Structure 1
Amino acid sequence: MRRSPTRPRAALLVLLAAVLTLLLVPERLAPGERHTGGRTAPDPLPLPDVPSGFFTGSDAEGVRRISGAEAWLGGGELTVGHTYLPGDRWSNIEGHPELFAPWARWKAARPGRLFVLNVPMMDRNEAGLTDAEVRAGLRSGAAGAFDRHFRALGEGLAAHGLEDAVLVLGWEMNGTTYGHRCGPDPAAWKAYWRQAVGVLRGVAGQRFRFDFTPSRGRDAVPWPECYPGDDVVDIIGLDAYDQPEGLSFEGQVTEEYGLAHHVAFAKAHGKPVSYPEWGLFRNGDNPAYVRGMLDWFAAHRPVYQTVTDYCPHGVWGCADNPRSAEVVRGALGAPGRP
């Protein structure tokens, strides 16, 4: 396995970050706890001043569902709208007014709202492309073959008043799910990211921020090997679900390329953090995990965090997780709600 040349320094940073985090929130992390269903859920303490959202769907109906989630929270406001571009064909990756317009209206309706958009870097992005196909696509992108598509995307966003969107480009690149994965050719992946960001930054009037977001842990390739450079990254995100089965929240903090490594890596590069996707998964209705994540956000102050709100991950849109739902309502709901 290929190792990062900065591994000893990174390991020290991870250890220091983990120790600091445990000192900051010693009673909330439930040391050693696994999801057994036998413990009382932690008290649902508020999450102060962290921009938050629920992913409730990509279309106009998903925008409308945000008000339903806010009502469920007892009046707590969700200030982050998060959606995804389809990755099936380039015409969809360029975006459409049917997708942009409802989000633009939502954002314009109240000052301070943040629009986050996940942008695929490859067409046929979930079609099971071979490593050879991925490698060829990455190299073509790095050479500018797809520039016109990113230019069209940027111009469309700007035309709809979404010129300050956070763009999560090529997310979870360290895994194997997507055609825009990094593993087949990390050097080409990084060059392609730089090329796409350069095109998008060339759009008149844009104020985009670019969010580099791997999935938590090692996955198929160590995600630091895919990092394209401080000059083309504004935020360092992490998608972090409650998996694998049986792993405690502390284990998710301290694992290789886990939560602590993410925070330490971002600090070393002078970048803020984000959590575009997180939620329940392999350990069922697990309020200890949810409380641990919310306390992590309180300690590390991300640019934004977004709950993936459909089964099995969600809390409003999934009736299977009532104990976790109560923790989220306590953290994000309006003060004094019943």
Structure 2
Amino acid sequence: MFVYRGAGCTGKGRMAAFEKMLGRPADGVVEFSERSDWSHMLSSINWALGCWDGTSYRLAQSVPMLMDKGTSLAAGADGAYDRHFRALGELLVRKGHADAYLRIGWEFNGGWYPWAAKRDPAAFVRLFRRIVTVMRAVPGQRFVIVWNPAQGEQQIAPDRVWPGAAYVDVVALDLYNQSWNPLDRLSPQRRWTTLVEQPYGLSWAARFARAQGKPLALPEWGTGTRPDGHGFGDDPVFIAGVADFVRRHRVAFTGYWDYNAGDYNAELSNGRQPRAAAAFRTHFGR
């Protein structure tokens, strides 16, 4: 079980509460970076990796394909940012994370990140392949490349921008217990069925991964609340559903979102969702 508890030293200081709830040590941590410019991306990752020095957690590093301003998919696809990805790969190897999972351009089918694939699907695919090629050329690396859409079709069908099996090691899906369909409020079982059967939901991810000969991952998943009321909170049915899915499929890793991000609060380890926390420990603990 991987987990996100906050960036770097913030997350490290919160691991004890999560592991107490889980009943065993976590297997790894999910990390992110700044996106103001390439220099801050590298320095923020360097800082975070320093915080995890001396621990045995495996790393799932979220790799931004672009910065928030002044970059483009087309320029990246033509090689404008190669040196930054090479530097990132070298940093990860140097810091002892040569086996990191790399979530390159995660949630690319949505519109909330600058690398949104809908803006230029062909350039997105070329840039994804280019980043993989650059990082795989770093001496000493054993990186595991993760292709990671968000749940649902969002703004573009994920399989429209599949970079090819040669460039991907793990097919992933981020999954949150949320819905805008009024019928999903009827019962947690109905919500879970929607998450499984919706277009580009869990069933699609399992079929697609199997067709490509790749394992699955759920790098971000959680149940919690949203300020707009579309999150379903303390829901042990969701936890049990994820556990059953993991048991029935070839899943490389899962990363629980034990964090209050403002727009989604899926924390379990602080006691605010006792039924979901109990189910989590039952299904994923010792």
Q: TM-score, normalised by structure 2?
A: 0.89
For the residue of structure 1 that corresponds to 2:3, the secondary structure is strand
**In the alignment, which residue of structure 2 is the partner of 1:65?**
14
CA distance in 2, matches of 1:293, 1:58: 25
Amino acid paired to 1:171: W
Matching residue within 226, 244, 266 for 1:313: 266
Q: 1:118 aligns with which of 62, 84, 87?
A: 62
Report deviation, 1:255: 0.8
Q: Distance in 2 between matches of 1:104 and 1:211?
A: 23
Q: CA RMSD in A?
A: 1.6
3-state SS of the aligned residue for 1:94?
A: helix
Cross-structure match for 1:8: none
For residues 79-98 of structure 1, the C-alpha deviation after alignment (integer angstroms, 9 at most, x for no partner) is 12211122221113234432
What is the CA-CA distance between 1:310 and the residue it aligns to?
1.7
- The residue that corresponds to 1:221 in the other structure is 156
Count of residue pairs brought into register by the alignment: 267
Question: Highest CA radius of gyration, 1 or 2?
Answer: 1
Q: Distance in 2 between matches of 1:105 and 1:97?
A: 15
Note the 1:258-337 alignment, pairs <5 A.
258-281=201-224, 282-311=231-260, 312-317=265-270, 319-334=271-286
Gaps of at least 5 residues in structure 1 are 1-51, 108-112
Contact 1:94–1:150 under 8 Å retained in 2: no
Query: Aligned to 1:183, what secondary structure does the other structure show?
Result: helix
Deviating above 3 A after TM superposition, structure 1's stretches of 4 or more consecutive aligned residues are none
CA distance in 1, matches of 2:122, 2:9: 38
8 Å CA contact 1:234–1:271 kept in 2: the answer is: yes
SS in 1 for 2:233: coil
CA shift at 1:66, angstroms?
Answer: 1.7
* In 2, Cα distance between equivalents of 1:161 and 1:218: 36
In the aligned structure 1, how far is the partner of 2:77 from the partner of 2:112?
21
SS across alignment from 2:140: coil
Question: Secondary structure at the residue paired with 2:52?
Answer: helix
Deviation at 1:266, TM superposition (A): 0.5
**Does the CA-based 8 Å contact 1:93-1:119 persist in structure 2?**
no
What is the aligned partner in structure 1 of residue 199 from structure 2? 256
Matched AA of 1:301: R
The unaligned stretches of length 5 or more in structure 2 are 185-189, 225-230
* Paired AA for residue 269 in structure 1: Q
Match of residue 75 from structure 2: 140
Question: 1:243 matched to which residue of 2?
Answer: 178
- For 1:278, give the aligned amino acid: W
Taking the aligned partners of 2:46 and 2:203, their CA distance within structure 1 comes to: 39
Q: Higher relative contact order by CA 8 Å / sep ≥ 6: 1 or 2?
A: 1
Task: Indicate conservation of the 8 Å contact 1:63/1:106, yes or no.
Answer: no
Distance 1:253 1:170 in 2: 23
Q: For the residues of structure 2 that align with 1:92 and 1:299, how far apart are their CA atoms? A: 41
> How many angstroms does 1:224 deviate by?
0.8
Amino acid at match of 1:268: A
Deviation readout 1:106-149 (Å, 9 max, x if unpaired): 12xxxxx421100111111xxxx7xxx7xx70000000000010
Q: Aligned letter for 2:243?
A: L
